[in-house]
Structure 1
Amino acid sequence: MPIRAVHIRRLILAAAAFSASIPYAAMAQTIDNVVTRPVGGDAEPLKKGRPPEGVQPSTGLGVLDRMGAKLPDLPPEKDYKGPVDDAYGAYQRGYYLTAMQLALPRAQLGDPAAQTLVAEIQYAGLGVRRDPKSSAFWYGKAAEGGDGAAMFKYALMLMAGEVVPRDKAKADEYMKKSADAGNSSAQFNWGQILTSDHPGQDGLKLALPYYEKSAEQGIADAQYAVAELYSTMPDLPEEKRRLARPWMARAAHAGFDTAQVDLAVWMVNGQNGPRDFVHGFQWMQLAANRGNVVAQNKLAHLYIYALGTKPDPIEAAKWYVLSRRAGLPDPELEDFFLGIEDDQQKAAIDRANKFRRLP
């Protein structure tokens, strides 16, 4: 996973603020939403009252339903036809001292790839004493020599200002160079920097091409960002807008819990694709079991309204108790909890006490 120089939530806040300028017609599909994803600190509950008109309670999940829909194929990996690097080969096999012995002479002669490898080994302390200062020296040399990975790592060091003096201008320069050289993590982080430095529509437009390139290389954070922007930005080609849900699904399959929550919300609400209560419930349940507090709150609502699952007041109360303990209030769920039988409350609390999040 990339180190997030600017947190992904900033992108969502920017997109949310930007969406205020979208014409009413473009927002009409969200009017009858059953689930909403909170942007701020408090959860937005399901709409009060009954489920949407025409919606029948689910009878549960079937085996075929659990299999999920097929995602678009990932781009095929390109065959490597370049020269074999013995130092990197030793590193990849775990022979770190051998890798160091092979890389150091080349690094001293100015080989940027070897300098990057020496920096990696020293920074992590693999087979040698950990030495962040020496590692920063070699990252800097390799960055000067144009190595994409080194430029990314050195940019992060310059941003942090812990091992080397903080220098935003130089950090931005190296991050952009690394992104333009094809480093997927740098592409995502440069997109984040652009959204931070250029608030609003301009920053999102500048960042989107970098998010797209990073997403295509498998970075889940970037896949999530692409999905959100494809969903909210106006004036995008229709073919891109249709890809919002597939990109969100890729990020969800990669284990990004925020994407799992948003994909579930989209499926339940019928946003960026047809309604799918069963799979929406399935994704929400997965994120909740992995400890996502918003998912736990929303899952309680799905159990109450029997959307994608059978109605279960004890399970609903359990997930509410867990989300409330984590600091996410919800007046509607509080009313529900107080309205069930005492033995159901006790059973829910007992289940919450026994809950262990999945890895």
Structure 2
Amino acid sequence: MPLNRRTRSIRDALLATAFACAILPGLAAAQAQPPAVARPLEPVAEPIKKGRVGAQEGNAEAGGMQEPEAQPDGIVPSGGVELYQRMGARLPPAPAEKPATGPADEAYGAYQRGLYVTALDLALARAQKGDAAAQTLVAEMMMKGFGIKRDAEAATFWYGQAAERGDPAGMFQYALLLMSGRHVAHDKAKADEYMRKAAEAGNSSAQFNWAQILVSDNPGEKGLKLALPFYEKAAAQGLADAQYAVAQLYVAVKDAPAEKKTQAREWMERAAMAGFDTAQLDMGLWLVNGVGGPRDYEKGFDWLRIAAHRGNVVAQNKLAHLYINALGTRPNPVEAAKWYVLSRRAGLQDPALEDFYLGINDDQQRQAIDAANKFRRG
């Protein structure tokens, strides 16, 4: 079942903050040469917290950046991206489609076609007889108000019934409810159990969330190693957040097999191509700094530019540095100042860029401000 908007945002923030403390410090050592563009630890980043995985309500905002040499490398939380934002992006190959077995699910077919009243009638009849998949479908429709007035309490009941009968999607959704304590008593132990079972049953979102729980409950490299197999399984199913996690872990885990380390960039690129803005930012930085492979300033510039145009504040900041230092592009003081103005307005302070901005002439400053205003209006 798809995650709701707020759950996706919290999930993205969890991934970013988890790596802020556990993973990214190891990237500096993985680089054979000094970084051309550093990504210091964002001052408001915090360790991953227990009980935050998969919460139903919440929000996350992209953080800021400091001067390149001020602090060790770190991660900046991302608000994630919605499906409509990923449309039009060049996507990685889809996982191989599993052959259909058994009879067609008429209720789910009606649901996919938007025939919600029909779907609910068909699914409810089966759900009352103990069909776990139908119970999950009924719960989903009741939770969203499809074909019936929204009823979160009834939806929670049906998610619980589906979870008890082992439906992977039902177990995942019920685990989220147990974790958040909404419409059912908070029970972390039971939530973890259902999340683990859903992950082991092949639900990609549960695999990612169970990996997050393992990282949270097992600090240090132990948790990363326990989580990696579940990140890998979710990544193989096309989950961009998991692809990003796999890429980071392949580089950061000291004794990861050499063949996996060589695949790190591939996974990062797949997450970037799916429209995950944090992956686009890191793909650009990896290429510029030579992480996980040789340096490629032009491709690195391209990825940072994509992330900057999508509104990633850190990418906007780093793009200014590339324009100043002519890395992957020709030097352009007005473009550099434009991107700095945009990132500064978002609250990202950078003394080096401030010195550069004050050093250009008044006409260039006016052009940069005009360009920044046009970008914001666009």
For the 8 Å contact 1:71–1:246, the answer to whether it is kept is no
For the 8 Å contact 2:92–2:273, the answer to whether it is kept is no
Q: What amino acid maps onto 2:157 in structure 1?
A: F
For the 8 Å contact 2:15–2:212, the answer to whether it is kept is yes
For the 8 Å contact 2:132–2:163, the answer to whether it is kept is yes
For the 8 Å contact 1:196–1:203, the answer to whether it is kept is yes
Q: Give me the whole-angstrom Cα distance separating, in 2, the residues matched to 1:107 and 1:137.
A: 12
Whether 1:105 and 2:105 are equivalent positions in the alignment is: no
Q: Give me the whole-angstrom Cα distance separating, in 2, the residues matched to 1:335 and 1:349.
A: 16
Distance apart, 1:79 and its partner CA: 2.1
Partner of residue 343, structure 2: 323
What CA deviation, in whole Å up to 9, does each residue of 1:310-340 have, x standing for no partner? Answer: 1110110010011011111000000000000
For the 8 Å contact 2:33–2:290, the answer to whether it is kept is no
Q: Give me the whole-angstrom Cα distance separating, in 1, the residues matched to 2:340 and 2:359.
A: 13
So what's the TM-score if we normalise by structure 2?
A: 0.83
Matches within 5 A, 1:286-301: 286-301=306-321
What CA deviation, in whole Å up to 9, does each residue of 1:51-97 have, x standing for no partner? Answer: xxxxxxxxxxxxxxxxxxx9985542222233201000000110000
Distance apart, 1:306 and its partner CA: 1.2
Distance apart, 1:46 and its partner CA: 4.9
Matches within 5 A, 1:53-92: 74-92=94-112
Partner of residue 65, structure 2: 43
Q: Give me the whole-angstrom Cα distance separating, in 2, the residues matched to 1:209 and 1:37.
A: 27
Partner of residue 35, structure 2: 33
Deviates more, 1:158-167 or 1:144-153: 158-167
Q: Give me the whole-angstrom Cα distance separating, in 2, the residues matched to 1:123 and 1:72.
A: 32
What's the secondary structure of 1:355's corresponding residue? helix
Partner of residue 150, structure 1: 170
Distance apart, 1:308 and its partner CA: 1.2
Structure 1: 5+ residue runs without aligned partners?
21-25, 49-69
Partner of residue 51, structure 2: none
For the 8 Å contact 1:224–1:248, the answer to whether it is kept is yes
Q: What amino acid maps onto 2:195 in structure 1?
A: M
Distance apart, 1:164 and its partner CA: 1.1
Distance apart, 1:137 and its partner CA: 0.3
Name which structure has the greater RCO, CA cutoff 8 Å, separation 6+. 1
What CA deviation, in whole Å up to 9, does each residue of 1:85-136 have, x standing for no partner? Answer: 1000000110000000111111111111111110010000012100000000
What CA deviation, in whole Å up to 9, does each residue of 1:257-282 have, x standing for no partner? Answer: 00000000010111111111111111
> Which one has the largest radius of gyration?
1
What CA deviation, in whole Å up to 9, does each residue of 1:164-195 have, x standing for no partner? Answer: 11110110010000000000000000000110
Q: Give me the whole-angstrom Cα distance separating, in 1, the residues matched to 2:280 and 2:24.
A: 22
Whether 1:159 and 2:179 are equivalent positions in the alignment is: yes
Distance apart, 1:32 and its partner CA: 1.3
Q: Give me the whole-angstrom Cα distance separating, in 1, the residues matched to 2:148 and 2:91.
A: 43
Matches within 5 A, 1:152-301: 152-301=172-321
For the 8 Å contact 1:136–1:164, the answer to whether it is kept is yes
For the 8 Å contact 1:155–1:170, the answer to whether it is kept is yes
For the 8 Å contact 1:17–1:200, the answer to whether it is kept is no
Partner of residue 150, structure 2: 130
Distance apart, 1:17 and its partner CA: 7.1
What CA deviation, in whole Å up to 9, does each residue of 1:232-268 have, x standing for no partner? Answer: 1111110000001000000000111000000000101
* Identical positions, percent: 62
How large is the RMSD of aligned CA atoms in angstroms?
A: 2.1
Q: Give me the whole-angstrom Cα distance separating, in 1, the residues matched to 2:119 and 2:288.
A: 51
For the 8 Å contact 1:104–1:118, the answer to whether it is kept is yes
Q: Give me the whole-angstrom Cα distance separating, in 2, the residues matched to 1:44 and 1:122.
A: 46
For the 8 Å contact 2:159–2:170, the answer to whether it is kept is yes
Partner of residue 15, structure 2: 8
Q: What amino acid maps onto 1:162 in structure 2?
A: R
For the 8 Å contact 1:34–1:47, the answer to whether it is kept is no
What CA deviation, in whole Å up to 9, does each residue of 1:28-51 have, x standing for no partner? Answer: 625411012233235244579xxx
So what's the TM-score if we normalise by structure 1?
A: 0.88
Partner of residue 57, structure 2: none
Partner of residue 351, structure 1: 371
Q: What amino acid maps onto 2:328 in structure 1?
A: G
What CA deviation, in whole Å up to 9, does each residue of 1:142-177 have, x standing for no partner? Answer: 000000000000000111112111110110010000
Q: What amino acid maps onto 2:269 in structure 1?
A: A
